[in-house]
Amino acid sequence: MLPYKIVHCPDLFASDQGESERNLIQCFEPPADTPDSGKFIVVLEEIDVLLGSNRADTLEARMASLLLDCIDSTSAFVLGTTSLPATLSEEIQRPGRLDTLVELHLKDAAARAAVLKIMLRRFGNIADSQKDIAQVAKKAYGFSPADLQNLCVRAFMEHRDVTVDDLLKITETIVPSSLSSFQSKIPRVMFSDIFGMDEVIARVRTLVLEPLCEPERFYEMKVEPPRGALVYGPPGTGKSMLCCAIANELAVNTIWVDASQVRSMIVGETERALADLFAQARKSSPCILLFDHIDALAPQRGTSLSSENTSDRIVTSLLVEMDGFGSHGMTDHLAPSVFVLAVTSRPHIVDPALLRPGRLDIHVGLDLPTAAQRMSILEGLLGKMPAAASISGNGDSLRKLVERTHGCTGADLANVCREAALCALRRDINSEMLTMADFEQSMNALNI
């Protein structure tokens, strides 16, 4: 076995001038037990602190240059570790240096089950069977070995006699470490919380949920399950709420992305951000990427006014990432590993290439609610307000509200109910009942 050195790169930096460089050079000095061949191994942990893409600091620039020189001149085999591969410069990855990339992650439920089985032996095997372990592993979407260890530790700290049900409940509260830098928490909205969209929800169940939950039927017919969906409609019609409900019904990892915030003024920065986003989503698969305001990120190509054609390059990068999806996924076997949900109020602006089959090929349009839908929405909203019982149970009052709110969106109706409650409290802070007069005052205040 070859002798080896393990170096924690952040520890190389020192306050004294020249000390950091000396520490780095010493890492490549052969150990005392080096064989005559001169071969030994150097393991550089967290190498990204030395070779990150952004190296504006003078010391970092010197350390990066020195490290490249050491690698070029040493007879050692150099092994670097990082959790941020996207930040590494191209210089370190060229042939003759660290030119081989090995990605370590638990790619499916079977791999997670194997790791979990070993960990449970350390803590005391609480699973009754291999089936129990597989059940927990399947629920632990995108968990790394560290996440699984965290799951076991928390379970044994919170429960004296740990059961499989305890592990399953704790799994729901743990965000995979691969998603820690992204917004992965979305509002807890289910289809049952959405009113006036029965037909749309039924269509979404057929076109989105069933293919992702049972992809085997599609593959038996030699048909690819969908990889993405576009939800569009006027502002306030419930597009984002519907997407959150889809993600929650599927119960998989979700990354919420405000597309307008992904764009950067720095050339190439947006493309790098997209690559990192999709890479993390694949590591956390099965995963839903939810792009809000997709029109801000992917407008039609050829309309950019910048000399660098920034928008065109971003759209091309997005198309490449979407076409690069793997073929494993929602059930860890067949469905796409990453499913894209895109939201927009301006579908005519989105680049047509993004809407072609194999990309965002499912289109779900939402419109202003009809009278029947407004009735359903108001019944649902008022049913959650105990003080509005006298209104929700009165057909005449509801019909008047429906007629008065012609042209209103679901968000407008929710605002009417909220403002009516405030009117009642302003009228009498101890008020326990909403009246029709409160709703009239609310609609007048909102110019409805």
In a domain, 98, yes or no: no
pLDDT the model gives residue 333: 40
In this structure, what are the phi and psi dihedrals at residue 222, rounded to the nearest 5 degrees? 60, 40
Q: Does one domain contain both 229 and 293?
A: yes
Which domain range does residue 28 map to?
4-93
pLDDT the model gives residue 306: 60
Both tokens of 218, joined, read 């599609």
Closest by CA to 242, choosing from 356, 365, 350, 413, is 365
CA distances from 205 to 208, 375, 437 (A): 6, 23, 40
In a domain, 405, yes or no: yes
In a domain, 180, yes or no: no
Q: Does one domain contain both 296 and 201?
A: yes
Q: Does one domain contain both 217 and 354?
A: yes
d(CA 61, CA 20): 12
d(CA 170, CA 282): 23
Q: Which of 330, 365, 400 is the last residue of a domain?
A: 365
Q: Does one domain contain both 291 and 165?
A: no
| DSSP tag of 378 | H
Q: Does one domain contain both 322 and 437?
A: no
Whole-model pTM?
A: 0.71
In a domain, 183, yes or no: no
Q: How many domains does the chain have?
A: 4
Closest by CA to 86, choosing from 256, 321, 296, is 321
DSSP letter string over 259-324?
HHHH--SSTTHHHHHHHHHHHHHHHT-SEEEEEETHHHHSBPTT---STT-HHHHHHHHHHHHHHT
Helices (H) and strands (E) in the chain, counts: 20, 8
pLDDT the model gives residue 183: 62
| DSSP tag of 254 | E
The sign of the torsion formed by the CA atoms of 107, 109, 112, 114 equals negative
CA distances from 362 to 58, 348, 399 (A): 50, 15, 35
pLDDT the model gives residue 393: 67
pLDDT the model gives residue 216: 77
Q: Which of 124, 143, 174 is the last residue of a domain?
A: 174
Q: Does one domain contain both 226 and 145?
A: no
Give the DSSP H or E segment for 440: helix 436-445
Helix, strand, coil percentages in the chain from 3-state DSSP, rounded to 5: 50, 10, 40
- Bridge pairing between strands 228-232 and 338-344: parallel
In a domain, 68, yes or no: yes
Residue type, 60: E
CATH assignment of the domain containing 228? 3.40.50.300
Q: Does one domain contain both 126 and 89?
A: no
Count of other CB atoms within 10 angstroms of residue 35: 10
pLDDT the model gives residue 105: 75
Q: Does one domain contain both 233 and 307?
A: yes
In a domain, 291, yes or no: yes
Closest by CA to 27, choosing from 14, 39, 9, is 9
Contacts of 344 (CB under 8 A, 6+ apart): 230, 231, 232, 239, 293, 294, 295, 350
How many whole angstroms from its chain centre is CA 240?
15
Residues 296-307 have pLDDT tens digits of: 898 998 776 565
In a domain, 392, yes or no: yes
CATH assignment of the domain containing 377? 1.10.8.60
Q: Does one domain contain both 360 and 378?
A: no
Q: Does one domain contain both 225 and 312?
A: yes
Q: Does one domain contain both 224 and 335?
A: yes
In a domain, 99, yes or no: no
d(CA 214, CA 63): 52
Q: Which of 324, 340, 365 is the last residue of a domain?
A: 365
How many whole angstroms from its chain centre is CA 188?
15
What are the per-10-residue average pLDDT scores of the chain (448 residues)? 91 90 93 87 92 64 90 92 80 89 80 86 64 83 86 86 85 79 77 93 91 79 86 94 92 84 74 84 84 91 67 88 57 60 94 91 94 93 80 80 93 94 89 87 91
Q: Does one domain contain both 234 and 256?
A: yes
